[in-house]
Amino acid sequence: MRRGFTAENMRQRRLRRGFIFAGMSANYLFYNGSITKTGKLIISPDNRSFRYGDGFFETMKLVNGKIILEELHMERLFSSLERMQFQLPDYFTPAYVREHVLALAKKNYHDKLARIRLTIFRGDGGLYDVNNHFPHHLIQTWPLDNSYRSLNENGLVLDFYRDARKGCDEFSAIKTNNYLASVMGALWARQHKWNDVILLNPFDRVAEATIANIFMVKDGLIRTPPLSEGPVNGVMRRYLLKKIREADLPHEVSPLHPDELLQASEIFLTNSIYGIRWVKQLGNSHYTNQTASVLHKQFLEGLF
């Protein structure tokens, strides 16, 4: 290597040429039909996902070679593909996705406990002249530690984020690549040393946290906002609501106002990776974790 040209120098030079490369989180990734080493060219600067956020993603948890809640993930994946008007080749099926998720996780030695991200995006083109509607797809894996099997010991600290709003439309339930509200909310949380923030919708009602759905408990009643309020159609949210109904626990899917969260006895967040995480503080309000503990023990310990 020439004097003054470190590996990082070379990487920065390649990036300045205008191309985007895969992250270095693992040795391998899966892209459009084949496993390849990370660090290779993935998309061009004309890619519509890069330009416009034209795509979405699915985050899954893998435990001992099995995708947890696979059926719900596949249902959400393929309904999102249809809603966003992708045109699927015949081979792009749930079996195809499963096969290559498991193969990549094994290749990266992540098949015991891992986070899987499947990103779907359209190819090159301008806003009105898309080249085609093929679902370009990228699978990545990251190892998880055993803390992701358990309920958090230390409760989370949250606050409201009001500088961006989560929309309420036909696409708000999809995990689209246009994630700006959550990105800025996460930056705000880090600046203030919070664990997360709560995003509101345009009507000043509760939508979700940056990477999770939100539940509250008051007087024994478990509540979460409906999808019409703007939250992502979370797989863990769906699973937990189904189990709550089957157990005949008092619950309600209804709009939540910020003041109601402040008056709750419990708040907890859900997503596919950690299941349930309980909140100990929101603003100046403090909470317990009795219901979250029961739900985790009853419905998640065996699942994970």
CATH of the domain at 250: 3.20.10.10
pLDDT score of 304 more than 90: no
Q: Which residues lie across from 277 on neighbouring strands?
A: 269
Q: How far apart are the first and last CA of the chain?
A: 47
**Domain endpoint, select from 144, 167, 195:** 144
Look at strands 156-165 and 275-282 and give their pairing: parallel
Look at strands 213-218 and 266-271 and give their pairing: antiparallel
pLDDT digits (tens, 9 = 90+) for 272-282: 999 999 999 99
Q: Total domain count for the chain?
A: 2
Give the model's pLDDT for residue 42.
Answer: 80
pLDDT score of 132 more than 60: yes
Residue 29 lies in a domain: yes
Domain enclosing residue 199, as ranges = 156-300
Residue 246 lies in a domain: yes
**Measuring CA to CA, which residue among 227, 215, 244, 125 is closest to residue 175?**
227
Of 159 and 303, the one with more pLDDT: 159
pLDDT digits (tens, 9 = 90+) for 134-190: 999 999 999 999 889 899 999 999 999 999 999 999 999 999 999 999 999 999 999
Q: Do 208 and 77 sit in the same domain of this protein?
A: no
Q: Do 139 and 163 sit in the same domain of this protein?
A: no
Tokens standing for residue 282: 């929101």
Residue 149 lies in a domain: no
Q: Do 137 and 173 sit in the same domain of this protein?
A: no
Q: Do 22 and 118 sit in the same domain of this protein?
A: yes
**Measuring CA to CA, which residue among 298, 115, 304, 289 is closest to residue 215?**
289
In this predicted structure, which of 94-98, 126-130, 266-270 has the lowest mean pLDDT? 126-130
Tokens standing for residue 108: 């990266």
pLDDT digits (tens, 9 = 90+) for 217-253: 999 999 999 999 999 999 999 999 999 999 999 999 9
CATH of the domain at 90: 3.30.470.10
Residue 211 lies in a domain: yes
Q: Do 129 and 230 sit in the same domain of this protein?
A: no
CB 272 within 8 A of CB 69: yes
Residue 58 lies in a domain: yes
Give the model's pLDDT for residue 183.
Answer: 95
Q: Do 140 and 17 sit in the same domain of this protein?
A: yes
Please list, in sequence order, all residues whose beta carbon lies within 8 angstroms of the beta carbon of residue 195, skipping any fewer than 6 positions away: 156, 157, 158, 189
d(CA 22, CA 204): 37
Residue 151 lies in a domain: no
Q: Do 162 and 294 sit in the same domain of this protein?
A: yes
What is the average pLDDT across 77-97? Answer: 97
What are the φ and ψ backbone dihedral angles of 117, each rounded to 5 degrees?
Answer: -120, 125
Count of beta carbons in the 10 Å neighbourhood of residue 299:
19
Residue 150 lies in a domain: no
Cα-based distances in Å from 109 to 67, 104, 114, 144, 219: 15, 8, 9, 11, 46
Dihedral, CA atoms, 22, 188, 170, 243, nearest 10 degrees? 90
In this predicted structure, which of 4-13, 176-185, 192-201 has the lowest mean pLDDT? 4-13
Give the model's pLDDT for residue 98.
Answer: 98
**Measuring CA to CA, which residue among 159, 152, 154, 156 is closest to residue 189?**
159
CA dihedral for 239, 151, 292, 224, sign (positive or negative): negative
Residue 140 lies in a domain: yes
Q: Do 201 and 160 sit in the same domain of this protein?
A: yes
Tokens standing for residue 186: 């996460």
What is the average pLDDT across 90-115? Answer: 97
Give the model's pLDDT for residue 25.
Answer: 61
**Domain endpoint, select from 144, 177, 195:** 144
Give the model's pLDDT for residue 68.
Answer: 97
Q: Do 276 and 221 sit in the same domain of this protein?
A: yes
**Domain endpoint, select from 124, 144, 164:** 144
Q: Do 46 and 111 sit in the same domain of this protein?
A: yes
Give the model's pLDDT for residue 26.
Answer: 86
Q: Do 164 and 290 sit in the same domain of this protein?
A: yes
pLDDT digits (tens, 9 = 90+) for 23-82: 446 899 999 999 999 987 788 899 999 999 999 999 999 999 999 999 999 999 999 999
pLDDT score of 2 more than 80: no
What is the average pLDDT across 198-205? Answer: 98
Q: Do 73 and 172 sit in the same domain of this protein?
A: no
